[in-house]
Structure 1
Amino acid sequence: MNDDFITQAIAEDRYLKALRLIDRFEMEIEGELKRVAEEFISGTESLFADGVSRRFKFARDSGAVLAHARVNTGMNRVASAESGADTLTLNITLRWLDPAEYGISHVDGALCVAGYKINGATSEDHTRVKQYTEESDTEIQFCRDAYNNAPGLIYVPVETAEDIREGFELLKKHFWDYGAEYGVDPDSVE
């Protein structure tokens, strides 16, 4: 045990201050992600069931995703017209990525991104959306999904609170344009 470190942490309330800072940060991010989720849905109501629930989670990890906050919202879409196809979920997220895990060398430290993905979507749908996006010459980027429950993450790098707001505004418009490209309406499945 490092006696000086422990003594200072107790005497100066460093440990308690760190916990309070984490709690406040997570509370602020949760509020922002829930607000953003409402906006994503407001422009694409037909893709979501009425009164759909939202699930929030904040987690830390030692893998390719170092930490993430996310809001999951069930969609009124299924992956395909096949019987028993998975229901899709919109995942809106703020992530801290290990740049080396994604082949990114120009970032010193973690890469923070605002992003979204469609859990349960097919690779074909995601590839089509990626092609449409790349043709429009936008700031939006794509990478693999470290959790393997979506074909990829759609993201914008962020460094400030303003970047987060602007990034999610760009991503929201992207989802409004391309969200219906993922899956099919379950009422059309026989």
Structure 2
Amino acid sequence: MNEEFITNGIKNDRFLKALTLVDQFESEMVREIRNVAEATAEQAPALFVDDPTPQKSVNLRRNSPPLGNMRMDTEMSRVNASGERLTWNLAIEWAQPEIHGHDEPSDQALSVVLYKIKDCPMEDYQRVKQATRQESRWDAIQFDDDVWNSDWGIFYIPVTNGPEITDGFQTLQEHFLEFGEQFGEPASTN
């Protein structure tokens, strides 16, 4: 046991303050993601099931990519060719920069806001990716493979502070509202 480290953690409640900070950060981020997901479902009800309550998933302090994430899954009214319902996944994620092709030297993780469509046909992702590249208003959006080794691609924006997170989620929301109908096909029932 590193007694000096343990003593510093106990002194002035540093460990407890750190836990409080983590809890507060997580609560704020989850609230922001949920608000964007709910607002999106309200603005485009035809893209979502009748009760599109976002479901939270938080994975922090990992040793493999990604290093951590907070996300909301919202069930869509659209399906793939196999009849599997698509899910809109909205998240903030931390990864080593090289995971997303950012090769510049950095002593910190790359933070990104992102969305992906779970169970989405890859050709739909590729088509939306191409259309996105053709419009300069989407220049902030980057593309990559999903680090969870799924076959879905992601739409993401690197962020470094609170205002960038807010702006990034707004841009991703607008992008999804424009292109959401291009993922999968309408389900026979909601």
Tell me, yes or no, if the aligned pair for 1:118 and 1:150 is still in contact at 8 Å. no
Alignment of 1:155-170 (within 5 A): 155-170=156-171
Give secondary structure in 1 for the equivalent of 2:77: strand
Q: Which sits farther off after the overlay, 34-43 or 168-177? A: 34-43
Cα separation, 1, equivalents of 2:101 and 2:9: 37
Deviation of 1:64 after TM superposition, in Å, equals 2.0
Deviation track 1:135-173 (CA, whole Å, cap 9, x = no partner) reads 112211111001134511101111111001111111111
The TM-score with structure 2 as length reference comes to: 0.92
Question: Structure 1 pair 107/73, CA: closer, same or farther in 2 (3 Å)?
Answer: farther
Give secondary structure in 2 for the equivalent of 1:69: strand
Percent identity at matched positions?
A: 36
Cα separation, 2, equivalents of 1:167 and 1:120: 24
Tell me, yes or no, if the aligned pair for 1:72 and 1:89 is still in contact at 8 Å. yes
Q: Which sits farther off after the overlay, 152-161 or 8-17? A: 8-17
Give secondary structure in 2 for the equivalent of 1:187: coil
Name 1:132's counterpart in structure 2.
Answer: 131
Residue identity opposite 1:10 in structure 2: I
Cα separation, 2, equivalents of 1:10 and 1:24: 20
Matched, 1:119 2:107: no
Count of aligned pairs: 185
Name 1:79's counterpart in structure 2.
Answer: 80
Name 2:153's counterpart in structure 1.
Answer: 152
Residue identity opposite 1:88 in structure 2: L
Give secondary structure in 1 for the equivalent of 2:179: helix
Deviation of 1:14 after TM superposition, in Å, equals 1.2
Deviation of 1:179 after TM superposition, in Å, equals 0.7
Q: Which sits farther off after the overlay, 104-113 or 70-79? A: 104-113
Give secondary structure in 1 for the equivalent of 2:93: strand
Deviation of 1:63 after TM superposition, in Å, equals 1.8
Name 2:7's counterpart in structure 1.
Answer: 7
Cα separation, 1, equivalents of 2:89 and 2:160: 21
Name 2:91's counterpart in structure 1.
Answer: 93
Name 1:19's counterpart in structure 2.
Answer: 19
1:102 to 100, 103, 106: 100
Residue identity opposite 2:145 in structure 1: R
Cα separation, 2, equivalents of 1:107 and 1:40: 36
Tell me, yes or no, if the aligned pair for 1:91 and 1:117 is still in contact at 8 Å. yes
Consecutive aligned runs of 4 or more in structure 1 exceeding 6 Å deviation: none
Deviation of 1:26 after TM superposition, in Å, equals 0.5
Deviation of 1:103 after TM superposition, in Å, equals 2.6
Give secondary structure in 1 for the equivalent of 2:104: coil
Deviation of 1:99 after TM superposition, in Å, equals 1.1
